[in-house]
Chains A and B, each alone.
Chain A
Amino acid sequence: MKKQKKILSLLSIKNLSVEVGYKKIINELNLEIKPGEIHAIMGPNGSGKSTLAMTLAGHPFYKISQGEIFWLGEDLQLMKPETRLLNGIFLAFQYPREIPGVSFISFLRVCYNNVNKLRAEQLGKEFVPISLYAFKSLLLAKMKSIDFPAHFMNRAINEGFSGGEKKKSEIIQMALFEPKLTILDEIDSGVDIDALRLIGGVIQGFKKSDRSLLIITHYPRILNYIQPDYVHVMMNGKIVLTGDYKLAKILEKKGYAYVAGGKAQANVNGKAGLKLLTNFS
């Protein structure tokens, strides 16, 4: 008998509840992401989307009160935030932080070396830190691809960057670290159309068969550039509906309230949600 190779789940969230300051924000959420898949989570303000992103990145303020998260079969809760990045989870922040006095290039070079050091260790290879010169040309290429002025590399991290520039800076970092899973938390907010097109272009180019994306957004704009395999609707800390990319179009036309109303008969997750689409269109 021919044995089929099972595709391992990249990220597996089971029955997850998350509290912030004793307030339950995520309520028994389930989600599964396999290598190469693109998932979009959409939902109104306050539905818990960003809390999910922060929880996955390991922010200490977000307490898991129930459930489990597995990353490549290992317990994600045991990993420090830095370990998560080094093992392939990258979060592009909704509000990237400013760090005065630390240049973008010197910061990224340390991070880049950390990432490559671990990868070398995992492959049993000798690690050689990248020279400043080599890193500079690498970074320049990434910056150029998103039309980010070269002089920004010597500016302090995100300090005085416009909203769009901060988001571009996140995308440059994504391209540098080459994570297995990229979580884009509202990458389209505060970004003008031209910048969004560039960001979309870089994400498209970055997307390879085994790289996964989790796109968190209010608006389906960004989904015009990257077509998701799955669209999930999140409300009150739960995924209430799952469909394919067409669900985003429906949401755009009819709004979350309508979808939430129709939710009553819907099976909450997985294929049942996909079937449900016909009822809406």
Chain B
Amino acid sequence: MGALDYIKNLDRTVFDSHNDYGYIAKAEKGLSKSLVRRISKEKKEPIWMLEHRLKALGIFYQKELPTWGVDLGGINFEEIIYYVSPKGMKGYATKWEEVPKEIKQTFERLGIPEAERKFLAGTGAQYDSLNAYHKLKEQWEGKGVIFEDMDMALKKYPELVKKYFMKCVPSSDHKFAALHGAVWSGGTFLYIPKGVNVTQPLQAYFRMNAKSMGQFEHTLIIVEEGAKGHYIEGCSAPKYGSTSLHAGCVEIFVGSNAHFRYSSVENWSQDTYNLNTKRAIVDTLATMEWVGGNLGSGHTMLYPCSILKGRGARADHLGVAFANRGQIQDTGAKVIHVAPDTSSTVLAKGISKGGGVSVYRGLLQINKGAVRAKANIRCDALILDQESRNDTFPKMKIYESDVAIAHEARVGKISEEQLFYLRSRGLSENEALGMIVNGFIEPIVKALPLEYAVEMNRLIEMEMEGVIG
């Protein structure tokens, strides 16, 4: 069976089921200074990182929960397991045969090794707090590309990590950035040297398996001048019926004239609070592209941010969020134009069904001096039934007058006429609805590599199941 057929035949159980793989120590619930010290000690981190963690923990205790957006009252910080190391995983493997069998099977079911063989330049696979597998193909190693597990990168390239780590998203940013700064573990480090064009995508997959788990992977990406690359993240977690928390952090530094694309398909289980922080700093004439799909997870707050720091920098944000029964997808984009001649586009698509709530929350800021900045924001919502909802909160802070801004928001219901037309061609009502929804998100899906586009369409199909009757 080919990878595409495999993806087409995926069903929800692949994501929702867990395995009973054991853990080294009895997993410790709750947050404390001693836990933070233990994480740092187990990872044999330099002292500056321990200091960073402890400082971040202090900030976490001081900061209040956000008073806007999603109600986060359901998170019991004492009940969450912040760090677990699966049994027998001292470090990651670079061969799948060396990955513990059950863990390997999990990733095989998710189609990761298959994708790696077929089209990826490098692959990482994180299981709970640690990476089980990490590998960059040799041809890219030879060109000086670094694609590492974040813990390992801290050991191997301490200066490089220290220079950039949480400089784009400081711990002081908000409560969950602080929490992340204190207990982060695993994640990806990607460095693309000057002028290197990594033509194949690199991928990391983050899997939460343990119950009541918190996953806090850190992704740090440095794209040097004139370099080019595409990084993809996939995420999922099993369903337990108890709250889990994902508070990852993605920092991207895009050098002058560089071009970088970050794509992610987040498909956490409905038990998950997905409170991710993603941000890029974009230098002169560089381009940053965000492509994101948010399905799954009970509560999401996610607003990828681009800071257009250099003259002529550009950002494109493409996002789709699907809120099904019991879900709140509060997502959007933030763009901050700092320099002249910068430009940005945002295309956000929200779908709500079965009482789900999708929210577009965006910030467009144009600083004084960012003359001739251009921004184009479009958010479309599709509401599939009477009980579902969509809200749009576009915020604009414009401090420069010589700018061009366009904003368009559209909220639509499924058109009866479209539905009837498709049904009159022999499609069932569900097939017709699925087709209209897939068509609605097509502008975003087409920006994904084929395998992910197929996965995304399949995930949408799964969400669409049982719409009628």
Q: Which residues of B contact A98 (CB under 8 A)?
A: 418
- Interface flags, A67-87, vs B, CB<8A=1, else 0: 000000000000011101110
Asked if A82 and B438 sit within 8 Å, CB to CB, the answer is: no
Q: Which residues of A contact B420 (CB under 8 A)?
A: 57, 59-60, 81, 97
Asked if B439 and A100 sit within 8 Å, CB to CB, the answer is: yes
Asked if A86 and B416 sit within 8 Å, CB to CB, the answer is: no
CA distance A98 to B439 in the complex (A): 11
Asked if A101 and B441 sit within 8 Å, CB to CB, the answer is: yes
- Smallest distance from the beta carbon of A103 to chain B beta carbons, Å? 9
- Interface flags, B431-446, vs A, CB<8A=1, else 0: 1000110111111000
Contact of A100 among B423, B429, B431, B440 (CB under 8 A): B440
Kindly report which residue of chain A lies nearest to residue B446, judged by CB atoms: A101
Q: Name the segment of A107-115, A120-128, A191-199, A235-243 touching the other chain.
A: A107-115
A99 at interface (Cβ–Cβ under 8 A)? yes
- Interface flags, A128-156, vs B, CB<8A=1, else 0: 00000000000000000000000000001
Asked if A99 and B439 sit within 8 Å, CB to CB, the answer is: yes
Q: Among B418, B421, B424, B435, which residue has the most Cβ atoms of chain A within 10 A?
A: B424
B407-437 contacts to A, CB under 8 A, are 415-418, 420-429, 431, 435-436
Given known contacts A59-B420, A60-B420, A110-B431, is B439 in contact with A156 (CB within 8 Å)?
yes
Q: Which residues of B contact A81 (CB under 8 A)?
A: 420, 423-424
| Interface size class of chain B, counting residues whose CB lies under 8 Å from the partner chain | 20 to 34
A40 at interface (Cβ–Cβ under 8 A)? no
Given known contacts A91-B424, A100-B442, is B416 in contact with A60 (CB within 8 Å)?
yes
Asked if A93 and B421 sit within 8 Å, CB to CB, the answer is: yes
Given known contacts A80-B423, A81-B423, A102-B438, is B428 in contact with A97 (CB within 8 Å)?
no
Q: Among B415, B428, B431, B439, which residue has the most Cβ atoms of chain A within 10 A?
A: B439
A177 at interface (Cβ–Cβ under 8 A)? yes
- Smallest distance from the beta carbon of B80 to chain A beta carbons, Å? 39
Asked if B421 and A111 sit within 8 Å, CB to CB, the answer is: no
Asked if B436 and A111 sit within 8 Å, CB to CB, the answer is: no
| Interface size class of chain A, counting residues whose CB lies under 8 Å from the partner chain | 20 to 34
Q: Which residues of B contact A86 (CB under 8 A)?
A: 426
Q: Among B423, B425, B428, B441, which residue has the most Cβ atoms of chain A within 10 A?
A: B425
CA distance A115 to B418 in the complex (A): 20
CA distance A93 to B426 in the complex (A): 14
A258 at interface (Cβ–Cβ under 8 A)? no
Asked if A102 and B442 sit within 8 Å, CB to CB, the answer is: yes
CA distance A86 to B415 in the complex (A): 23
Q: Which residues of B contact A57 (CB under 8 A)?
A: 420, 424
- Smallest distance from the beta carbon of A127 to chain B beta carbons, Å? 14
A280 at interface (Cβ–Cβ under 8 A)? no
Q: Which residues of A contact B424 (CB under 8 A)?
A: 57-58, 81-82, 84-85, 90-91, 93
Q: Which residues of A contact B422 (CB under 8 A)?
A: 97, 99, 107
Given known contacts A59-B420, A93-B421, A96-B421, is B439 in contact with A111 (CB within 8 Å)?
no
Task: Enumerate 9 A-B pairs (CB-CB under 8 Å) in ascending A order.
Answer: A80-B429, A82-B425, A82-B429, A97-B420, A99-B436, A100-B439, A101-B439, A102-B439, A108-B425
Beyond the given pairs A91-B424, A107-B422, A110-B431, 16 more chain A to chain B contacts, judged by CB atoms under 8 angstroms and listed by A's residue number, are A57-B424, A81-B424, A82-B423, A93-B421, A97-B421, A98-B418, A99-B418, A99-B435, A100-B442, A101-B438, A101-B443, A102-B436, A107-B425, A110-B427, A114-B427, A156-B439
